[in-house]
Amino acid sequence: MPPKVLLNKCDGCKAEHEPLCEQVCPGNLMTLGSEGKAICRDLRDCWDCMSCTKVCPQGAIETRMPYQIGYHPAKLIPMMGTNRITWTCVDINGKVERFIVKNRNEEEDED
């Protein structure tokens, strides 16, 4: 299922020539629409890599779950930290699971 751009949050990367989602999309699917907001130009070609969702500085892109994995209430949402991604996974029964993935090396915390 394709990415959905939340229009009230997207600022088109301040109407930059190429927004971040466009730069990062491996299929070159994202582009700037006429209103200066990001848009996915070919919904069927998206393979749900979630790159655009993660890179969006405004958190304005939501990836809809493919129906093979989960129906409406199911969600998978990343929140980007400086060197970790906090994922929230909601399944079709509304059960919430959260997990943290470190994506950069850091010094281990100790007491």
Partner 1 sequence: MPSSVEVLICRCQGSVSGEFEIERLTKQLEKNKRIAKVHVLDHLCSQEGMKKLNQLVQVGEDSGLVVAACAAESLQNLLESQLPALNIKSQLCSIVPVREWVFWPSPRPRATEAAADMIKMAVARVRQVKDVGNWSAKGAVVNRLRCDKCKRCMEECPVDAYSLDEEGYPCANPELCQRCGICVGSCPLQVISLPDLRIEELSSEIRALKGDGSEEPTVLAFCCEPLTYPALQEKVALGMQLPQNMRIIKVPCMGAVNTALISDALSAGVDSVVLLGCEHGPCQQRRGDQLTKRRLENLKETLERMMFEVERVNYIGWPEASSDGMDVDRNICNGCLTCKEVCPYNAVIPEVKAVRGAKRIIAERDPLACRACGICTVACPSGACQTYALTEAQLLDSLDAACSDTVNPVPNEMVVLCNCQGKLSEVINFQSMKDNLDKQGFRHVIEVSQLCTPDAWRNLAKQGSHAALRAVVGACGKSFFGSRFEAFQKEIGLDLSYCAFADLLEKAILWPESPTLATDAATWEILTQSALLRENKKVNGVRDLELAGVEQYFSSYITTLRDLGPNPFKEG
Q: How far is the CB of 34 from partner 1 (least distance, A)?
A: 20
Burial class (CB in 10 A: 0-12, 13-18, 19+), 70: middle
Residue found by looking up tokens 């088109």 in the block: 12
Q: Which stretch binds partner 1 (CB under 8 A): 29-37, 43-51, 59-67?
A: 59-67
Binding flag, residue 83, partner 1 (CB under 8 A): yes
Cα separation, 18 vs 92, whole angstroms: 36
- By CB under 8 A, the count of residues binding partner 1 is 33
Other C-beta atoms within 10 Å of 25: how many? 22
Cβ-based nearer residue to partner 1, 2 or 4: 4
DSSP 36-53: S-EEES-GGG-----HHH
Does residue 41 touch partner 1 according to CB under 8 A? no
Residue 88 CB, shortest distance to partner 1, in Å, is: 4
Give the Å distances, CA to CA, from 6 to 79, 96, 109.
Answer: 16, 22, 36
> Which of 16, 27, 47, 103 does the annotation list as catalytic?
47
- Specify whether 47 is catalytic: yes
Q: Does 96 bind partner 1 (CB under 8 A)?
A: yes
Question: Could you say which of 31, 36, 75, 91 contacts partner 1 (CB under 8 A)?
Answer: 75
